[in-house]
A = this chain, B = another copy of it.
Amino acid sequence: MSHLNKEKIAERMKSLQAYICTALEKVDGVSLFISDPWDREQGGGGITRIIQNGGVIEKGGVAFSTVHGEVTETMQKQMGIEGNSFFATGVSIVLHPHSPHVPIIHMNVRYFELDNGTFWFGGGIDLTPHYVIESQAKVFHQGLKNICDYYNIDFYPQFKNWADDYFYIPHRNETRGVGGIFFDHLTAEKAGLTKDEIFNFCIELGENFPILYKQQVELGKNIPITEHEIQWRNLRRGRYVEFNLVNDRGTKFGLVSNGRTESILMSLPANASWEYNYQAPNNSREKQTLLSLKKGINRLG
């Protein structure tokens, strides 16, 4: 029997948040995270940490939260769960860099438990370059595969496909970016691992997050920036907003379940643009990027 109870998991999620923020401050080099703790009336609370106007990051957040309460009808319907009461804790990250040559990045790890004893883990990391460069996407995917393979050789291929499906914008027929990994409802049985092992997998993903992002920052941060590239970055941010508000199940669930709006929408960029029916010119880097935003591309190739 594992000693890993929900209190310990929440405590380690909170430590993970602190660890990631400290590491990201080093990657950024200029700004520090502010800390915004909050309580949830119906049970639980969290700490939302925000970094702004940094050396690399224009707007980013690393959120920790713990939520518990009764299983509502909305949860039963939307999540298909049974039970009277639930407990959930996790860490969520979205970082929007200044430079169009540094990707937007997202990570989430979460633990969910019902009063009937069932529990599962979920999570994901995905990368959204404004300009897709396959060699850089490969560095990211190889890093994820290395972590996955240590726990279960099936994780990377399975979770990579899941990410392709999840981080997808149907009304644009585009993936959000070059994907990554996504998993949900991961039980000990499904994972072929103990509860402790799945949790270690989640923590290791989190601890590797600043390393994975630093690699991407280093690859792009010194590339000169043109006004044209800034405009393209803003259009891509527009797509990010569309995905988060229209398609992201976590955001939608948070908003309809009376979650803390500012913490949920910390994922939105400082600004975003829309242009009617923008068409990237043939053979442009913008067109190349659009052609790379497809499901099923082998990013290790």
* Residues of A participating in the B interface, judged by any CB pair closer than 8 Å: 36, 48, 50, 52, 59, 61, 170-172, 234, 238, 241-242, 245-246, 252, 255, 261-262, 264-266, 268-277
Q: How far is the CA of A172 from the CA of B261 in the complex (A)?
A: 7
5 contacting pairs across A/B (C-beta < 8 A): A171-B255, A172-B261, A241-B245, A246-B255, A270-B273
Which residue of chain B lies nearest to A262 when distances are taken between CB atoms in the complex?
B277
Contact of B245 with A277 in the complex, beta carbons under 8 Å? no
- Shortest CB-to-CB span from A27 to chain B, Å, is 19
Contact of B255 with A276 in the complex, beta carbons under 8 Å? no
Contact of B265 with A36 in the complex, beta carbons under 8 Å? no
A271 contact set on B, CB distance < 8 A: 234, 271-274
Contacts A171-B264, A270-B274, A271-B274 given; 15 further ones with Cβ under 8 A?
A36-B276, A36-B277, A48-B276, A59-B274, A61-B276, A171-B255, A172-B261, A234-B271, A238-B268, A241-B272, A262-B277, A266-B276, A270-B275, A271-B272, A271-B273
Q: How far is the CA of A274 from the CA of B94 in the complex (A)?
A: 14
Q: How far is the CA of A272 from the CA of B241 in the complex (A)?
A: 10
A242 contact set on B, CB distance < 8 A: 245, 265
Known: A172-B261, A255-B246. A272 touches B272 (CB 8 A): yes
Contact of B268 with A50 in the complex, beta carbons under 8 Å? no
Q: How far is the CA of A268 from the CA of B237 in the complex (A)?
A: 13
- Shortest CB-to-CB span from A296 to chain B, Å, is 21
A238 contact set on B, CB distance < 8 A: 268
